[in-house]
Amino acid sequence: MDVEFQEPDERTFRRHLAGARFRAGADRGDWRLVSEEWAWPHPIIAVSAAPRAGAPSEVALRFTVDGYPTAAPTAAPWDTQANAPLANHLWPTGGRTSLAFNPGWNASAIYIPCDRVAISGHDPWLQLHRAYVWGPGKEIVDYLLIIHDLLHSHGYAGVRQTA
Amino acid sequence: MAGRGSRPSPRRPVFTERRTRRTLLPAEVPTFRVSGAAPAGGSALEIYIHRSGRERIKLREVDGSIRVAEAVELADGEAIWLEEAEEPLLADGTVAELVGERGHVHVSRCRRVEVSVTFNGPTKSHHFAPGATIRRVLDWATGPDAFPMSEADRVEHALQLCNTTDQPDPSDHVGSFVTAEGCGVCFDLVPKHRFEG
């Protein structure tokens, strides 16, 4: 008999994907797991975006979640058709969104306090944005909520090439 | 395990007082409990159950034919609201009739939640049903009866629990933030964070 073995980080992450907060958000259409078939530790989750001219209705993110939930996730925009990183000119932009989606800073991460790459070297964020910093009790949903908010902010203008 | 046709009968009625034509409030303790799982062959439904406390939302699979009070394991003094509903649920209806697949209910001992919101000094207050979403409270707080804002400004503000940096999810229920001491919730209306520097 084949038994699929999962390390604790993968078990916890999959439990959170099946949990009430993630599924309620999916029911609302706020986000979706792009495919049930994904290779640990890189789930791809698409987050809905407010309608903007020339922009897609969602932004897919390829996460890295090894060490979850002790280690914070990190993610980058993903081209699900090409199964490759999203070209820089197609990244979301406008207002607060441009601060977070900034390939000039790092094309492999998002500049928000709960991203493991972004928090490194940003000690002031630990106080300034304490509620958003990854820590005990945080779930992948907390990361997704920030992205969803940015993609529905007043300043969000769509993608870089048309903004 | 309780299920269609095999549901245990309560020794006492869960709801005995009819307050309006459509609503009932709980008067006695339910004397039974049900498993969260639906029986094989039953009309299983999943419902979201919101309460105050650390785990604010649960997803539970139940038999659609059981009463809502059973499905949420209603305790003494509690009542049940559908999300955004002003009045408690008709208690003798079933989950399938009143809630439906992936419906949201809120369970609370508070009949109304006294919400106070402070913005740039002044404070405004308003009552909400426990199942009102934070999004709806924000709509009131930024609307003509509180601190009027344009749509552009509204989406750039959030409700933050007083004396914390916690900003509840827009889909959270306001009743989830009452404490054991009372039925009030205090918010500050604050600009959303800009992550820079």
pLDDT at B42: 57
Cα distances from B96 to residues A162, B13, B44, B47, in angstroms, run 47, 20, 9, 10
Q: Which amino acid is at A162?
A: T
- Model confidence at B53, pLDDT cuts 50, 70, 90, reads confident
Segments of chain B assigned E as strands: 15-18, 24-26, 44-50, 57-63, 79-82, 104-108, 113-118, 123-128, 157-161, 184-191
Question: Exposed, middle or buried: residue A72 (CB in 10 Å: 0-12, 13-18, 19+)?
Answer: buried
> Half-sphere exposure of residue B183, counting CA atoms within 13 Å on the CB side?
14
Span B82-132, pLDDT tens digits: 999 999 997 688 999 999 999 999 999 999 999 999 999 999 999 999 999
| Residues linked to residue B58 through DSSP beta bridges, in sequence order | B49
User: Which residues of chain B lie closer than 8 angstroms to A21, CB-CB?
Assistant: 57, 169
Say yes or no for a CB contact (<8 Å) between B192 and A96. Answer: yes
pLDDT at B181: 84
pLDDT at B173: 98
Question: Is the model more confident about B42 or about B4?
Answer: B42
β A58-64/B24-26 pair status: unpaired
Cα of first residue to Cα of last residue in chain B, in angstroms, is: 56
**What does the alpha-carbon distance between residue B105 and residue B47 come to, in Å, rounded to a whole number?**
8
pLDDT at B180: 83
Determine the average pLDDT of the residues in A45-62.
98
Phi and psi at residue A28, in whole multiples of 5°? -75, -15
Instruction: Determine the distance in angstroms separating the CA of A39 from the nearest CA of chain B, rounded to an integer.
Output: 26
**What does the alpha-carbon distance between residue B67 and residue A76 come to, in Å, rounded to a whole number?**
45
pLDDT at B38: 43
Say yes or no for a CB contact (<8 Å) between B195 and A132. Answer: yes
Determine the average pLDDT of the residues in B148-163.
96
Determine if residue A136 is left, alpha or beta; phi over 0 gives left, psi from -120 to 50 gives alpha, anything else beta: beta
User: Which residues of chain A lie closer than 8 angstroms to B152, CB-CB?
Assistant: 154
Q: Which of A111, A130, A154 sits opposite B195 (nearest CB)?
A: A111
Chain A contact for B122 (CB, 8 A cutoff): no
- Model confidence at B32, pLDDT cuts 50, 70, 90, reads very low
Quick check: B195 and A129 in contact, CB under 8 A?
A: yes
- Model confidence at B197, pLDDT cuts 50, 70, 90, reads confident
Determine the average pLDDT of the residues in A1-27.
90
Span A107-161, pLDDT tens digits: 999 999 999 999 998 999 999 999 999 999 999 999 999 999 999 999 999 999 8
- The two tokens of residue B120 are 């740039």
Question: Is the model more confident about B20 or about B34?
Answer: B34
pLDDT at A52: 97
May I ask the CATH class of domain A3-159? alpha beta
pLDDT at A2: 54
Q: Which of A28, A118, A130 sits opposite B165 (nearest CB)?
A: A130
Question: Exposed, middle or buried: residue B22 (CB in 10 Å: 0-12, 13-18, 19+)?
Answer: exposed
Q: Which of A86, A109, A112, A114 is catalytic?
A: A114
Q: Which of A28, A129, A154 sits opposite B195 (nearest CB)?
A: A129
- Model confidence at A6, pLDDT cuts 50, 70, 90, reads confident
Question: Is the model more confident about A126 or about B17?
Answer: A126
Q: Which chain A residue shows the shortest CA-CA distance from B197?
A: A122
pLDDT at B168: 95
Interfacial A residues in 71-100 facing B (CB < 8 Å): 96, 99-100
Say yes or no for a CB contact (<8 Å) between A132 and B194. Answer: no
Q: Which of A20, A118, A125 sits opposite B57 (nearest CB)?
A: A20
pLDDT at A68: 98
**What does the alpha-carbon distance between residue A144 and residue A150 come to, in Å, rounded to a whole number?**
10
β B184-191/B113-118 pair status: parallel
pLDDT at B55: 85
Span A56-83, pLDDT tens digits: 999 999 999 999 999 999 999 999 999 9
Q: Is A55 a catalytic residue?
A: no
- The two tokens of residue A84 are 């490759």
Q: Which residues contact B13 (CB under 8 A, 6 or more apart)?
A: B27, B28
- Model confidence at A49, pLDDT cuts 50, 70, 90, reads very high
Element (H, E) at A44: strand A44-48
Chain A contact for B57 (CB, 8 A cutoff): yes
DSSP, res B67: B
- The two tokens of residue A103 are 């390939």
Residue A162 has pLDDT above 80, yes or no: no
Residue B41 has pLDDT above 60, yes or no: no
Chain center to CA of A32: 11
- Look over chain B and give the mean of its residue pLDDT values, rounded to a whole number: 82
pLDDT at A100: 97
Looking at chain A, how many residues does it have?
Answer: 163
- Model confidence at B4, pLDDT cuts 50, 70, 90, reads very low
Q: Which of B101, B150, B166, B195 to mutate to test the interface with A (most CBs of A within 10 A)?
A: B195
Lowest mean pLDDT among A47-51, A110-114, B34-38: B34-38
pLDDT at A82: 97
